[in-house]
Amino acid sequence: MSETTEPNVGTFTLADPLTTAPAEPVEVPDHAEWPLPNGFAWVFPADGNTTGGLVRPVIMADGFNLGRSELDKTYQGLESDYEFISELRRRGRDVILLGFEERSASILDNAEAAKAAIMRAIAEQIGDARLVVGGFSMGGIVTRYALAEMEARSMDHRTALYFSYDSPHRGASIPVGVQAFSHFIPFPNSFAKQMDSPAARQMLWRHYDKDTKKIGVAPERTEFLDALNEVGGWPMIPHKIAVANGRADGIGLPDVPPGEVALRIDRIYPGTTFYTQAQGDDVTAAYLNRRWPKAEETVPTSGFPEMDGAPGGTLHTYKILADAMKKFGATVDLRHEEVCFVPSVSAVAIRDVETQKDLYTNIDDLPPEESELDEYLCSSTTTAHTAITEELCTWLMDRLPN
């Protein structure tokens, strides 16, 4: 490798467990496929359903990544640690997995796929059971908007229950130093495309602008929140529930103290260092250095809470980045593999993520009415973002309508 060039290290993306290949592949059973505007769906009838139609449909939307949904991986993720789809089907539910042609497209665009899936399910249904509609991570936001917009337009979605699974109702977090690094790579790459995508701009609570190098609320997020408010913010007809992969007791991630080195890269991008987010003004989130074209950059933050160590569903952000660097010859000093991606308060739509006090609030001590949801559950232990656990899945299934 030349000393004057950097290797192509931009061929990776940050992905949650549901959008990555599982360690132990699970066979995907036969299924029908629906083509939809901006998306598609796989349909798995309930055990014993020989009617040729749907009886008790559950629509579950895929989450955020780059590119077309890979529903085989989504299916396997939903069946690996706990057999969520199989259990739904055993309980007499027809499962409809909703995917998107481009997962990083605007939430408003992907909501068209959700609306079409709802209408198709209604058209193919036998009987009068009302629908269950929701999704994982971004999928919960897509379906939230779709249902709310249908109500605003007086469209009958026939949905009794809306659910979200670790969805960023108050925003998600990718460390801004990591976002900046995606654009510091001196050639077009999939990582930068993911970080600068419409969906990322809409969901991230703070976004690094590659052109101005400023950190703030992306205009696309403001526009999306305005659009959501215009349709009422939430669907009002269904019962609204959510689960969070993070804890509710306000205790942050014990292994992610603020202001420490999370990852240092040497040999390539020599001396590039990422720090866990700390409070204060002009706090260094990352120092970036490259050999060619020669450049260095310090990424500062001001007024941030301790986001990386906040209670919430985690993402192996720094491990994914470190593993990518090692593949291309870097030496890495990885000290903190994972950080908070969706804070607990965000996943259950209570308080906010803007201040240390709210971000680390003890949700258990708050009146449930403070949430914009009707019911919610936080994990008893910190788990990975969208990790499918028996605790969260059984709580959710026990609330499905008859």
Over the stretch 75-88, which tens digit does the pLDDT of each residue have? 999 998 899 999 99
pLDDT at 9 over 60: no
Give the amino acid at 365.
D
Name the band, by pLDDT with cuts 50, 70 and 90, for residue 161. Answer: very high
Numbers of helices and strands, H then E, in the chain: 12, 17
Tell how strand 312-315 and strand 339-343 pair up: antiparallel
Q: Which two tokens stand for residue 13?
A: 């993306």
Work out the mean pLDDT of the chain and round it to a whole number.
Answer: 95
Which helix (DSSP H) or strand (DSSP E) does residue 150 occupy? helix 138-152
Q: Any idea what DSSP says for residue 125?
A: B
The DSSP result for 254-283, as a single string, is TT--TTSEEEEEESSSTTEEEE---SSSSE
Over the stretch 42-89, which tens digit does the pLDDT of each residue have? 999 999 998 889 999 999 999 999 999 999 999 999 998 899 999 999
Alpha-carbon distance values, 180 to 19, 39, 186, 297, 393 (Å):
23, 30, 12, 9, 36
Which helix (DSSP H) or strand (DSSP E) does residue 163 occupy? strand 159-165
Q: What is the mean pLDDT of residues 92-110?
A: 98
pLDDT at 5: 45
Over the stretch 364-388, which tens digit does the pLDDT of each residue have? 999 999 999 999 999 999 999 999 9
Delineate the domains of the chain, giving CATH numbers in brackets.
17-170+220-251+364-397 (3.40.50.1820), 176-219+252-342 (no CATH)
Name the band, by pLDDT with cuts 50, 70 and 90, for residue 95. Answer: very high
Residue given tokens 């910190």 in the structure block: 382
Q: Exposed/middle/buried for 87, CB within 10 Å: 0-12, 13-18, 19+?
A: middle
pLDDT at 20: 73
Which helix (DSSP H) or strand (DSSP E) does residue 397 occupy? helix 390-397
Query: What is the crossing angle of helices 176-184 and 317-327, to 10°?
Result: 20
SS3 state of residue 98: strand
Tell me how far apart the alpha carbons of residues 400 and 402 are, in angstroms, rounded to a whole number. Answer: 7
